[in-house]
Amino acid sequence: MVYNMMVTGLRRSRRIALVSASLAVIATPALSDEQVLRIAMTASDIPLTTGQPDSGFEGYRFLGYTVYDALINWDMSSADEVSGLTPGLAESWVVDEEDRRVWTFRLRQGVTFHDGSEWNADAAIWNLDKVYDEDSPQFDARQAGNVRGRIPSMDGYEKIDEHSIRFTTSEPDAWFPYQLTFLLFSSPAQWEALDGDWDEFARQPSGTGPFKLASLVPRERAVLEPNPDYWDEARVPRLDRLELIPMPESSSRTSALLSGQVDWIETPAPDAIPRMESEGMTITSNPYPHTWPYQFSMLEGSPWRDINVRKAANLAVDREGLEALLGGLMVPAVGTVTPDHPWFGEPDFEIRHDPEEARRLLSDSGYGPDNPVEIKVLISTSGSGQMQPLAMNEYIQQNLAEVGIELDFEVLDWESLFPNWRRGADHQTSRDAHATNISFGWLDPFAAFYRFMHSSMAPPSGFNWGYMDDPEYDRLLDKARMTFDQEEQDSILAEFHARMVDDAAWLWVAHDVGPRAMHPRVQGFVQAKNWFQDLTPVTVGE
């Protein structure tokens, strides 16, 4: 390596050291013809590599859909359209018209795991046992913990023949296919070969995905290589190597990109973007199904029980000012989904910046300058999808104060705020807060609405943190869930969502646009409107 020669430079003089330092910056990528892409992730550790990744969606993005496949994959090929589903390890699937709890999946044939073993119904069942059957030898509590909550309707599964399996859901659930995108399949043969040791499997995993794991140094680096035999020839990676490096500090990521240590960073700090652009870096972004809200407590004593307060808060926030704060890297949110989405509907309540109207609404409810609304909100200092939580919350605090809503923040670590979500507003860890500020993805109707708004999802079952309990919401959600016709389902969801907006059920603030900064030599990347991204078409030029 060139580096060896540079060592001598160190001893000689400072001038030479200086030259070689700058040389190294330029020289690193050109060292060989190998196409190496180095990505700095925001996670503080390499996500779990055994199949079901941890670290949220970033884990799925980099060590889920790279090394593994689901029965149904996300189609991440378009930058313009909302990502849809596409067949993965299943070629087709159908729901039983008689009993719509029964789904039959026809598995893809001719697919092999990275170790060469065959993908078939036995492998599928083995993987299901891995996360659902606590008595099976391959049962892995960590993987189970990472995935089971994402597939709430799973009730049973069985092999039909060599290449088909059957699922049963607990009740008719039109959203079941979305849930299956989170179930990834590891190789039973590799696990056997490693004496059934999941820790060892983490170091030498075997899936069916477009990438293979070449090496893993916990907390430091995961190196992926292409799987030339990937079943979808169009998605055989064009890179020679993909290096994933955890770098939780945003200033470290900035410096790593500018100094040429990495080629691509996730979530650059908005303030550093002008500097990166001035040095020729490319900034990509694209709105994706993400919402940054305040979820309200509906418990006795919460000021949010008054619809005027809810509406006033929504009218008080200057979303355009906030957009400026984030250097344009957000889309103002006027509902859980964006207005162009089929689920948005036609609400009467128009969410905008109108402090006058907000003050009027508050005075209708008897609030005023001498009698402000006092509200406590749980916020985090950072976290997956939380964008710039402190800056944004302080901005909102200022906005709301102008109309007479006094916010008091309970600042938690992300690792404390997130578990509180499932515990509810009345749990002691909520410290009597009236709202929680957790951003989330609305990839499917369950994730977007059901888990927050259906009364059956109150803690500890789901994420109905504020104990929302409205029969009309429940009715619409149940109806949508059992409606298997896509268009009809969409129109029910639109009705539901319009009601939610008219009700000002939450305070909607922003949608993230998933900014990424990369060196101009990174080419071919299409940023999908999704939490997940396809790394297979990416190339690294000179």
Partner 1 sequence: MNNYFLKRILYVIPITLAVSFFCFSLVHLSPGDPMDAVVSPDAPSEVVAMVQSAYGFDRPLPEQFALWVSRAVQGDLGLSAANGRAVTSEVFSALKNTLILAIAASMIGFTMGCTFGTLAGYFQGSWLDRLVTGFAVGGVSIPHYWLGMLLVIIFSVELRWIPSSGAGPGSSSDWAFEWAYLRHLILPAVTLSVIPMGVVTRTVRAMVADILAHEFVEALRAKGLAERRVFLHVVKNVAPTALAVMGLQLGYLLGGSILVETVFSWPGTGLLLNNAIFQRDLPILQGTILVLALFFVALNLIVDLAQARLDPRIQRG
Partner 2 sequence: MSSSTLDASAAHEPLPAAPTKGYWHSVFGRLSRDPVALVAGLILLAILLVGLLAPWVAPVDPYATSMLSRLQPIGSPGFWLGSDELGRDVLSRLIYGARLSLLIGVMPVINAFVIGSAIGIVAGFVGGRTNTLIMRVIDVFYAFPAVLLAIALAGALGAGLINSLFSLTVVFIPPIARVAESVTTQVRNVDYIEAARASGARSLTIIQRHVLGNVLGPIFVYATSLISVSMILASGLSFLGLGARPPMPEWGLMLNTMRDAIYVNPWVTVLPGAMIFTVSICFNMLSDGLRTAMDVKL
H-assigned helices in 29-162: 56-59, 121-132, 141-147
Residues 83, 177: Cα–Cα separation, whole Å: 14
With contacts defined by CB under 8 A, name the span among 71-79, 341-349, 410-418, 481-489 that binds partner 1. 410-418
Residues 6+ apart with CB under 8 A from 93: 71, 72, 103, 104, 105, 106, 177
List residues binding partner 2 (CB under 8 A): 250-251, 254-255, 258, 269, 271-272, 274-275, 321-322, 324-325, 381, 390-391, 394-395, 398, 411, 413
Q: Which of partner 1, partner 2, none has residue 390 at its interface (CB below 5 to 8 Å by kind)?
A: partner 2
Using the rule CB under 8 A, is 10 a contact of partner 1?
A: yes
Question: Cβ of residue 46: shortest distance to partner 2, in angstroms?
Answer: 23
Q: Which is nearer to partner 1, 189 or 214 (CB)?
A: 214
Partners of 436 in the β-ladder: 295, 378
Is residue 320 classed exposed, middle or buried when 0-12, 13-18 and 19+ CB atoms within 10 A define those classes? Answer: exposed
Using the rule CB under 8 A, is 247 a contact of partner 1?
A: yes
Map residue 295 onto helix, strand or coil: strand
Instruction: Please say whether the beta carbons of 178 and 446 come within 8 A.
Output: yes
Q: Which is nearer to partner 1, 93 or 465 (CB)?
A: 465
Q: Compute φ and ψ for 216, nearest 5 degrees.
A: -140, 120
Q: Which of partner 1, partner 2, none has residue 520 at its interface (CB below 5 to 8 Å by kind)?
A: none
Q: Which is nearer to partner 2, 216 or 258 (CB)?
A: 258
Residues 6+ apart with CB under 8 A from 269: 250, 251, 253, 254
Q: Which is nearer to partner 2, 168 or 398 (CB)?
A: 398
With contacts defined by CB under 8 A, name the span among 254-262, 330-338, 397-405, 491-499 that binds partner 1. 254-262
SS (H, E, C) 148-205: HHHCCCEEEEEEEECCEEEEEECCCCCCHHHHHCCCECCCHHHHHHCCCCHHHHHHCC
Among 30, 94, 141, 324, binds partner 1 (CB under 8 A): 141
Pair of tokens at residue 2: 């060139």
Q: Which is nearer to partner 1, 122 or 413 (CB)?
A: 413
Determine which helix (DSSP H) or strand (DSSP E) holds 375, and give its type and residue range. strand 373-380
Alpha-carbon separation of residue 314 from 300, 307, 388 (angstroms): 21, 11, 19
Among 160, 217, 324, 401, binds partner 1 (CB under 8 A): 217
Instruction: Please choose, from the candidates 503, 452, 454, 444, the residue with its C-alpha nearest in 3D space to the C-alpha of residue 479.
Output: 454
Q: Which of partner 1, partner 2, none has residue 256 at its interface (CB below 5 to 8 Å by kind)?
A: partner 1
Using the rule CB under 8 A, is 214 a contact of partner 1?
A: no
Using the rule CB under 8 A, is 419 a contact of partner 1?
A: yes
Q: Tell me the pairing of strands 440-441 and 290-296.
A: antiparallel
Q: Which of partner 2, partner 1, none has residue 149 at its interface (CB below 5 to 8 Å by kind)?
A: partner 1
Among 220, 277, 472, 485, binds partner 1 (CB under 8 A): 220
Question: Cβ of residue 280: shortest distance to partner 2, in angstroms?
Answer: 15
Residues 221, 32: Cα–Cα separation, whole Å: 20
Question: Cβ of residue 519: shortest distance to partner 2, in angstroms?
Answer: 16
Map residue 294 onto helix, strand or coil: strand
Instruction: Please say whether the beta carbons of 47 and 186 come within 8 A.
Output: no
Question: Cβ of residue 148: shortest distance to partner 1, in angstroms?
Answer: 6
Among 3, 96, 156, 401, binds partner 1 (CB under 8 A): 3
Q: Which is nearer to partner 1, 37 or 90 (CB)?
A: 37
Residues making contact with partner 1 (CB under 8 A)? 1, 3-4, 6-7, 9-10, 17-18, 20-22, 24-25, 28, 44-45, 48, 54, 134, 141-142, 144-146, 148-150, 199, 202, 215, 217-221, 245, 247-249, 252, 255-256, 258-259, 261, 413-416, 418-419, 421-422, 460, 462-463
